[in-house]
Amino acid sequence: MLIRGDLTPAVNSFPEDVRQGLGKMGQKELPSKYLYDDVGSALFEVITKLPEYGLTRAEERILRGHSEAIAERLASHGMVVELGSGSGRKTRRILEALARRQPTTYSPIEISPAALESCERELDDLAHVSIVGFETEYLDGLRRAVARRKPGEAVLVLFLGSSIGNFDREAGEDFLRKIRQELEPGDALLLGMDLEKPLAQLISAYDDSLGVTAVFNKNLLARINRELGGNFDLARFEHVALPNARERRIEMHLRSLENQTVSIEGADFRTTFRRDETIWTESCHKYGPREAGEMAERTGFGCVAQYLDDEWAFAENLLLAVGASRAGGNGKAA
């Protein structure tokens, strides 16, 4: 079953976000969420299989090895809500482990209908798992999903991959607080977190030899052309992955190869680019292993377990909501 949330505000914000982002003085930028339309989501699934991008395989190894232990800790968690499910491939292990203990409701939340349909196809064969998908933004979907919980049922929220790393650190913690505000004490959050690693390894992960990440990044310009009547010439831009050591992140940019002017009819907007000027499209922050516990304490959670991969520096962190209930509204630890 698929429930569509109110996507009107998000849809209407696309031209406004394009105007604001590309009209900025100094660094032009576009929100990374717009990378993940149906084409972008399909391209990202390809990226997860590339040899240079070991993150997804690391997470799959962790879930394969520790899903039973996680499910054992979460015996009363009969509802699973996933923020940004993608294809749902990685989620299968944890759902199988939970469903062996009790009937489980799984709510994938995606803004891409194609990703939701792929997820439902991937997981439709699971016994004792009911799928109720939400086509909407993360927090709206979480709010709608937890409103359907049964009396006495606890919730497990999945925020897998490196999605938390797309936020600036302060914004990431604010997002965790907002998740906490929708939960009750004892509810859980399984948080994926990509860890710091050698620079060469990071660069190759975000600028792969086949150029799939470049196509994924450039698809954002193609999306503006398709949906907003833009006239970006994709051949006049190149994908670059830039390290930012001070902020401990990799930044994805699109660099203009020449002086040029672009018009976007649907946004009623026109802008110029200097040669070598960039559009900043995504940030990928990396963390130290202890940061998950520190972030948890500041956002109303406690970190009760951390699982690390031996081959790729990645952590899966199991957090439990503590302190005041959702009704209390502050989401802070007591």
Position 334 scores a pLDDT of 29
- pTM over the 0.85 mark: yes
Q: What is the DSSP letter of 257?
A: S
Q: What is the pLDDT of residues 32-45, one digit of tens each?
A: 999 999 899 899 99
Report the chain's C-alpha Rg in angstroms. Answer: 20
Instruction: Please tell me the number of Cα atoms within 13 Å of 144 on its side-chain side.
Output: 22
* pLDDT of amino acid 8: 38
Do the beta carbons of residue 103 and residue 132 sit within 8 Å?
no
Instruction: Transcribe 203-234 into DSSP letters.
Output: HHHHS-TT-HHHHHHHHHHHHHHHHH-B---G
Average pLDDT score, the chain: 92
91 pLDDT more than 60: yes
pLDDT of residue 111: 83
pLDDT band at 112 (very low <50, low <70, confident <90, very high): confident
Residue with tokens 């190759």: 204
Q: Does residue 2 register a pLDDT over 70?
A: no
Q: What are the E-state strand segments in 183-313? A: 188-194, 237-244, 249-256, 260-264, 269-273, 278-285, 301-308
Ranked by mean pLDDT, which of 87-101, 120-134, 303-317 comes out on top?
A: 303-317
| Tens of pLDDT, residues 173-193 | 999 999 999 999 999 999 999
Evaluate if residue 7 carries a pLDDT over 60: no
Nearest to 88 by CA among 26, 15, 161, 151: 161
Higher pLDDT, 158 or 329: 158
Mean pLDDT across 218-237: 98
pLDDT (0 to 100) of residue 314: 98
Q: Would the pLDDT of 121 be above 60?
A: yes
Could you report the per-residue pLDDT of 290-320, keeping only the tens digit for each?
A: 999 999 999 999 999 999 999 999 999 999 9
Residue 200: strand, helix, or coil:
helix
Domains of the chain: 55-197+288-328 (3.40.50.150)
pLDDT tens-digit map of 269-298: 999 999 999 999 999 999 999 999 999 999
Segment 36-63 shows an average pLDDT of: 94
**Does position 1 have pLDDT exceeding 70, yes or no?**
no
The per-residue pLDDT for 4 is: 53
pLDDT at 318: 98
Task: Give me the mean pLDDT over the 151-172 stretch.
Answer: 95
Q: Which of 90, 93, 98, 150 is nearest to 129 (CA)?
A: 98
**Model pLDDT, residue 323:** 82
State CA 52 to chain mean position distance.
19
What is the reported pLDDT for 204? 97
Q: In this model, does residue 19 exceed pLDDT 60?
A: yes
> Quick one: average pLDDT of 141-164?
95
* pLDDT level of residue 61 (50, 70, 90 thresholds): very high
| pLDDT over 90 percentage in the chain | 83
Confidence of residue 76 (pLDDT cuts 50, 70, 90): confident
